[in-house]
Amino acid sequence: MSKPLSFYRSYFLSKTMSFLRRRNGTDSSKTRVADPNIKKDGAADDDKKKDEYKIPQRRNYGSKKWSCWDNCCWFIGLICSIWWFCLFLYNTMPDSIPQFVTMAITGPLPDPPGVKLRKEGLMANHPVVLVPGVVTGGLELWEGRHCAEGLLGKRLWGGSFGEFYKRPLCWLEHISLDNDTGFDPPGIRVRPVTGLVAADYFATGYFVWAVVIANLAHIGYEEKSLYMAAYDWRLSFQNTEIRDQSLTRIKSNIELLVATHGGKKVVVLPHSMGVQYFLHFMKWVETPAPRGGGGGPDWCAKHIKAIMNIGAPFLGSPKSIALHFSIEVRDIAALRAQAPGLLDKDVLGLQTFKHLMRMFRTWDATFSMIPKGGETIWGGLDWSPETETVNNSAKKGTDNSTRNTGGNGNICNTKGVNYGRLISFSKDWAETHSSKIERVDFKHVAKGDKLTNSSNCDIWLEYHEMGNRAIKAVADHKVYTAGSILDLLHYVAPKLMARGASHFSYGIADDLDDPKYDEYKYWSNPLETKLPNAPDMEIYSLYGVGLPTERGYIYKVAPPSDCSIPFQIDTSVDGDSEDSCLKGGVFSGDGDETVPIISAGFMCAKGWRGKTRFNPSGIRTYNREYKHAPPANLLEGRGTQSGSHVDLLGNFALIEDVLRVAAGATGEDIGGDRVYSDIFKWSERINIKL
């Protein structure tokens, strides 16, 4: 009778194990000692042999249990294997295959704007200048401390951010500026990366200007007709000139582009904070040396065809208030609520929140983003341009129970929203009419009682010098508008704001001919300076709409602890309805997720429209809005119709507008204004002297 398969398997394993034991023994000539239980006189019984060899096999192999560690190792190994296999396929397959797969799923892909316009016969014409914004430009190390050995000439910002993970405290020390001077600390030199690679990608795979550059290349542009006006976005605008001569370099390069292109003027594309930086540049270049560039009053008229401002925070952004006040924005506050204490803990020597606030507060350029124009622009206790009147205030106007429709018709319901209240301490104070609010004058409250053990804090934050009495006074003031927010920041961080106030201003000029407005701190505020005398020049405001954009915050006093930031966004607070504008302690309006429409659109819609005191030569202005549409699937990446603040640089409609103007078109040629929001109606509600 044939034996079962299990017998042969067991027999083979027994012979193998026997052989291995003989090989591993100390005396290879010795034979294995016989088992006394096995008979010596005759052939072994098949069943006994079977049992003899099956039992060890079961004990040593069949009965082994997998631990959690084994499961984890195998799972990680499986994931890594799949990842490397997919990476191998991606790098070895022909380029046409991913495109073929995408087309099979989504259908034929539309031509990029550059390819489309090239087929129409459009070609490169006017040279183009790109001006990056805050954060997006690369920074590299040219001198550092001992902990930064081996990093000379390498990027500290932008790229892979590998050094952040390897040595976080060293990285923070080098990326921060000196609190007193606003320049590099002694023994450290960090400088902006130059060339188009300075801001084509922020990190691997995350484009900034790369899509715009690629489409410009499709119609004939190349590096000699493109210039990336890179600068150190951490420094105040004037300090970029003092340390690096960045403004002088922009002036010289624009003059070179014009001279080498037969006198054709440049088209300038500033993005985000780069918009304010270029406003500063236009005033600087006209100002006589040595305070300015000495180009004369007609320099802009001779050298600039159009300025196409992208995601322009002309009048600032409420996000900057939250960052300066508590180093939070909506997403960070939500993360903090989901993982309480995580961002406050000391992880690998890095106390996350405190170090981030210290670093952010040394970057003087961020002061340029604080809202400008006060209550006139942003609204007061009981009104805002977007909602006009709320809570039955004495101010007359239309019914406010409307929806902030903006770009996609369903941002949120603005009924009862007091957008003018940028900071409120509790939901009640955010909604109560101003006549029922009694506020404490915090500005005269002494700061004598320092927090317990605050002297032991090794991270310098001015909150450590406030004390419990001062913190309570700030909360008891209850509500802050754009008119009082500067007083708040001056109170909680006087040293910080003293440095910022020497470089930036946030008001509205009564008389633009007043000699005081010749000081550089006013040059980036469009409400305190004039546009150049260049009647043939055009100014565009290109911005996204249809995305919830931070407009106000509800705060609470954090539980007392040593070295803490005493104020936090109260993420437990939501509106009364599902479509409320208040979610997670943040009031949202319409915009591009970073800049509200009122900041991006007001100047071109009203402040500069026609001949005004801010635009005495009557430069033509245009508002071009791009309605946000998310990508249809993962294969589209960040989408070609996005209205988000950075992703807007990959929006095909915007890129097409840019290419047409660069090729010679005017604002009227591309259709003039294109708006989906109520920016013109909101602008009319702003009572400003023109």
pLDDT digits (tens, 9 = 90+) for 173-188: 999 999 889 999 999 9
Binned at pLDDT 50, 70 and 90, residue 495 comes out as confident
Binned at pLDDT 50, 70 and 90, residue 668 comes out as very high
The answer on 670 and 570 residing in a single domain is no
More confident site: 657 or 466: 657
The answer on 450 and 346 residing in a single domain is yes
Lowest mean pLDDT among 225-229, 269-273, 360-364, 667-671: 360-364
What pLDDT does residue 462 have? 80
477 in active site: no
Q: What are 104-119's pLDDT values in tens digits?
A: 565 666 789 999 999 9
More confident site: 376 or 99: 376
CA-nearest of 645, 536, 668, 654 to 216 is 654
- How long, in residues, is the chain? 690
Within 8 A by CB and 6+ apart from 48, the residues are 38
The answer on 360 and 250 residing in a single domain is no
> Which structure tokens are listed for 290?
């040595």
More confident site: 206 or 299: 299
pLDDT at residue 662 greater than cutoff 70: yes
> Cα separations (Å) of 5 from 2, 18, 46, 50?
9, 20, 14, 11
Lowest mean pLDDT among 34-38, 136-140, 408-412: 34-38
The answer on 229 and 355 residing in a single domain is no
Within 8 A by CB and 6+ apart from 450, the residues are 464, 465, 466, 467
Does a structural domain hold residue 74?
Answer: no
pLDDT at residue 27 greater than cutoff 50: no
Q: What is the mean pLDDT of residues 529-554?
A: 97
Q: In the predicted model, what is the mean pLDDT of the chain?
A: 84
User: From CA 348, how far away is CA 612, in angstroms rounded?
Assistant: 56
Within 8 A by CB and 6+ apart from 22, the residues are 28, 31, 32
Does a structural domain hold residue 95?
Answer: no
What's the domain range around 219?
113-130+198-316+527-548+591-685
How many structural domains compose the chain? 3
CA-nearest of 690, 632, 616 to 301 is 616
Domain end position, chosen among 587, 602, 637: 587
C-beta of residue 603 within 8 angstroms of C-beta of residue 525: no
pLDDT at residue 660 greater than cutoff 80: yes
10 in active site: no
The answer on 669 and 568 residing in a single domain is no
Percentage of the chain beyond pLDDT 70 is: 77
pLDDT at residue 48 greater than cutoff 60: no
Does a structural domain hold residue 681?
Answer: yes
128 C-beta neighbours (distance < 10 Å), count: 24
592 in active site: yes
Does a structural domain hold residue 164?
Answer: yes
Which SS3 state, helix, strand or coil, does residue 259 take? Answer: helix
Q: What is the mean pLDDT of residues 580-608?
A: 96
Q: What are 193-217's pLDDT values in tens digits?
A: 999 999 999 988 889 999 999 999 9
The active-site residue, picked from 174, 303, 324, 645, is 645
The answer on 220 and 168 residing in a single domain is no
Binned at pLDDT 50, 70 and 90, residue 453 comes out as very low
The active-site residue, picked from 272, 564, 642, 644, is 272
Within 8 A by CB and 6+ apart from 506, the residues are 316, 370, 371, 372, 373, 374, 486, 525
More confident site: 470 or 595: 595
- C-alpha torsion 61→66→72→75, nearest 10: 60
The answer on 426 and 445 residing in a single domain is yes
The active-site residue, picked from 232, 590, 592, 678, is 592
Binned at pLDDT 50, 70 and 90, residue 191 comes out as very high
More confident site: 578 or 652: 652
The answer on 343 and 310 residing in a single domain is no
The answer on 236 and 118 residing in a single domain is yes
- C-alpha torsion 552→556→558→559, nearest 10: -170
More confident site: 132 or 68: 132
User: From CA 657, how far away is CA 672, in angstroms rounded?
Assistant: 11
Lowest mean pLDDT among 143-152, 188-197, 534-543, 614-623: 143-152
Does a structural domain hold residue 92?
Answer: no
